[in-house]
Homo-oligomer: A and B are copies of this chain.
Amino acid sequence: MPHLHLEYTANLTQLDTDKALLRLNHALVASGQFGAEFDIKSRALKVESFRVGTGLNERGFVAVRLALLSGRSSQIKQQLSESLLAVVQDLGPWPEGVQVQLSVELLDIDRDSYSKVAIG
């Protein structure tokens, strides 16, 4: 833990996912909430098939989900969410004529049933 997922719609063609993931990971390290930088596992997924709402104008989104072990306070989680959203906002510019929504959600993962091992 933590695990971070970044989804982005395929019409956000200028998004640099390598840069995005590195900056997000640096923000998580800087939060001081995680013991080792090595524990932060992040991935980006391009969404080719999507629909925002029911309107006809062009739309897109970047959706970040951070899954972390249960037990942190609501205040800590709000701060983490806001710091990640600030990183995402700074990833622009966004395409002209596309309504883009950026979001960050936090998901608690049950601590007792989380298992892991490191190799090498």
| Chain A residues close to B by CB (< 8 Å) | 1, 3, 7, 9, 17-18, 21-22, 25-26, 29, 36-47, 49-55, 59, 61, 63, 67, 74, 77-78, 80-82, 84-85, 89, 92, 94, 97-110, 112-120
**Copies of this chain, whole number:** 3
Please name all residues of chain B whose beta carbon is closer than 8 Å to the beta carbon of A41 when the two chains form the complex.
Answer: 50, 52, 61, 63, 101, 103
How many angstroms between the C-alpha atoms of A85 and B118 in the bound complex?
Answer: 11
Known A-B contacts A22-B51, A43-B7, A107-B109; A102 and B74 likewise in contact (beta carbons under 8 Å): no
A17-B49, A49-B18, A63-B3 known; A120 vs B103 contact (CB < 8 Å): no
A84-B103 Cα distance, complex, nearest whole Å: 23
